[in-house]
Amino acid sequence: AQTVTQSQPEMSVQEAETVTLSCTYDTSENNYYLFWYKQPPSRQMILVIRQEAYKQQNATENRFSVNFQKAAKSFSLKISDSQLGDTAMYFCASSSQNSQGGSEKLVFGKGTKLTVNP
């Protein structure tokens, strides 16, 4: 079974600063994906960044980047130049093919509430 752990329930950062959110996971699968989703107070879950486990290169999307440490099963999210609009719940999630090879089920962590202060 897959598990995802986010050890930081809440974090805050000043506008324009950099913040790193932590995530560890456990899976017995060889082929899996890792994600960071953002859920602003309006509730719509938005994909921030996606990492394929077989790719060693860390994924980046503009101000968002990850530090993927496969051996340590760690997948942290770095937000550079934080903006007020980054205030949200951030969920780390993993997904792997099920035994039938046809499922995209996501397993989520409990989330980290990030507040960006002006």
Partner 1 sequence: KAGVTQTPRYLIKTRGQQVTLSCSPISGHRSVSWYQQTPGQGLQFLFEYFSETQRNKGNFPGRFSGRQFSNSRSEMNVSTLELGDSALYLCASSLGPFSGANVLTFGAGSRLTVL
| Contacting residues toward partner 1, per CB under 8 A | 33, 37, 42-47, 50, 91, 95, 97-98, 100-111
DSSP 9: S
Q: Which is nearer to partner 1, 68 or 91 (CB)?
A: 91
CB of 46 to partner 1, least distance (A): 8
Q: How far is the CB of 14 from partner 1 (least distance, A)?
A: 28
Six token digits for residue 64:
């968002």
Helix (H) or strand (E) holding 76: strand 74-79
If the CB atoms of residues 82 and 90 are measured against partner 1, the closer one turns out to be 90
Alpha carbon distance 115, 93 (integer Å): 20
Residue 44 CB, nearest approach to partner 1 (Å): 5
DSSP-derived secondary structure for 19-71: EEE--EEE---SSEEEEEEEE-TT---EEEEEEETT--SPPEETTEEEEEETT
Comparison of 82 and 95: residue with beta carbon closer to partner 1: 95
Residue 18 CB, nearest approach to partner 1 (Å) = 26
Contact (Cβ atoms closer than 8 angstroms) between residue 11 and residue 19: yes
Nearer to partner 1, 103 or 115 (CB): 103
